């Protein structure tokens, strides 16, 4: 508690001295020469040791006058260091003159009051001085005095605190994710080595042709075209055929146009006569659905007939392997001599 009060007193004393020293010293200085004005400004004229502030140089120069800014590398004085400097920024004024700015980022690690000497600008132009200087600035740097009468203390070691759940959670989550990735990679590798698909395909409960034939029977029983529902009849009929083809030949035609569907069907899938039947079904359905075409009764019935024929000619036939029946052996009659030999 005593140390804190001592530091506060030293800080207040240092601040008071710097305030009096810099009271008459502004953070901005300027010099004028006819229409040419040079300014130098600090963000503040009192900083704590090691703080960083901006030093801004600017000049309003008439047209036709060239100005060379002062050049600094890593320091302005031995007590004031340059951390960074920006390129010169030039802005043209409405009257034809130019405003040129240059900014520096400076700091100081030495306590006390430091003078910033005048900045020298070299001018090239008619009827003006060849050199112009700014006023002197002062920068106050606050520092803290160390009380050497106090004893030294050992550095305190870090305090051991229990590990919280928030610290464990990321590691636990990452470990679980790593386990899942390793298991998935092993699973896919095993299936690949066994020449099995990576994902198990769902086996339909019934063969595709059984489902399609049952759907055609339902369409036939509903008598849709006989009751004037021509559009629904052909729509249901084509959907049944497309669904069968997609399942049977691993296609994707349920949302395709007639041309796209026909392009997907080749002679490797079905013979030419069945391809022609499919084209007739799809084109007749397009006319009924989109052109308000009214097919004849025979044409409606023929589309259903073609659908039956496509399914029946391309279905996968189930082969049943019948086990051969055991032939019953007929009893063999033995002669008396053979019976006597056996006895």
Chain segment 289-324, per-residue pLDDT in tens: 888 888 899 999 999 999 999 999 998 876 544 555
Q: Tell me how far apart the alpha carbons of residues 145 and 3 are, in angstroms, rounded to a whole number.
A: 11
Proportion of the chain in helix, strand, coil states, percent, rounded to 5: 40, 20, 40
At 215, give phi and psi (nearest 5°).
-65, -40
Note the maximum CA span of the chain: 161
**What is the Cα–Cα distance from 218 to 256, expressed in whole angstroms?**
24
For residue 18, what is the enclosing H or E element?
helix 2-22
Q: CA 195 to CA 293: how far, in whole Å?
A: 51
Q: What is the pLDDT of residues 236-293, one digit of tens each?
A: 999 999 999 999 998 998 888 999 999 999 888 899 999 999 999 999 999 988 888 8
97-114 residue pLDDT tens = 888 899 999 999 988 899
Q: Which H or E run contains 133? A: strand 131-133
pTM equals 0.39
Cα separation, 304 vs 306, whole angstroms: 5
Classify 195 in phi/psi space as left (phi over 0), alpha (psi -120 to 50) or beta. left
Supply 118's token pair: 């005048």
Domains, the chain, ordered by start: 2-142 (2.60.40.10), 208-314 (no CATH)
Residues 114-146 pLDDT 10s: 998 998 888 777 666 678 888 888 899 988 766
- In this prediction, residue 54 carries a pLDDT of 93
- Counts for the chain of helices (H) and strands (E), in that order: 8, 12
Q: Are the C-beta atoms of residues 219 and 233 closer than 8 Å to each other? A: yes
Structure tokens at 82: 């340059």
Q: Is 40 helix (H, G, I), strand (E, B) or coil?
A: strand
């Amino acid at each position: 508690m005593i140390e804190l009060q001592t530091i506060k007193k030293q800080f207040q004393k240092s601040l008071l001295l710097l305030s009096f020293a810099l009271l008459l010293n502004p953070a901005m200085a300027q010099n004028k020469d006819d229409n040419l004005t040079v300014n130098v400004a600090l963000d503040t004229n009192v900083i704590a040791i090691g703080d960083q502030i901006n030093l801004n140089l600017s000049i309003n120069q008439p047209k036709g006058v060239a100005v060379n800014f002062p050049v600094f590398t890593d320091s302005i004085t031995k007590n004031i260091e340059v951390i960074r400097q920006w390129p010169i920024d030039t802005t043209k004024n409405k009257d034809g003159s130019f405003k040129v700015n240059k900014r520096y980022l400076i700091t100081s690690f030495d306590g006390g009051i430091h003078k910033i000497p005048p900045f020298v600008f070299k001018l090239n132009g008619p009827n003006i001085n060849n050199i112009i200087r700014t006023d002197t600035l002062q920068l106050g740097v606050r520092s803290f005095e160390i009380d050497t009468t106090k004893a030294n203390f050992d550095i305190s070691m870090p305090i051991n605190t229990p590990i919280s759940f928030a610290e464990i959670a990321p590691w636990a989550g990452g470990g679980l994710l790593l386990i899942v990735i390793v298991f998935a990679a092993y699973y896919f590798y095993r299936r690949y080595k066994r020449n099995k698909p990576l994902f198990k395909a769902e086996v339909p409960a019934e063969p595709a042709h059984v489902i399609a034939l049952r759907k055609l029977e339902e369409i036939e029983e509903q008598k849709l075209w006989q009751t004037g529902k021509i559009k629904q009849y052909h729509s249901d009929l084509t959907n049944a055929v497309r669904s069968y083809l997609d399942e049977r030949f691993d296609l994707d035609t349920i949302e395709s146009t007639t041309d796209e569907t026909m392009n997907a069907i080749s002679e490797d899938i079905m013979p030419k006569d069945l391809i022609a039947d499919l084209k007739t079904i799809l084109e007749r359905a397009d006319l009924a659905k989109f052109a308000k075409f009214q097919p004849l009764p025979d044409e409606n019935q023929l589309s259903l007939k073609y659908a039956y024929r496509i399914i029946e000619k391309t279905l996968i036939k189930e082969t049943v392997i019948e086990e051969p029946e055991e032939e019953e052996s007929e009893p063999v009659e033995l002669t008396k001599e053979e019976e006597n030999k056996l006895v």
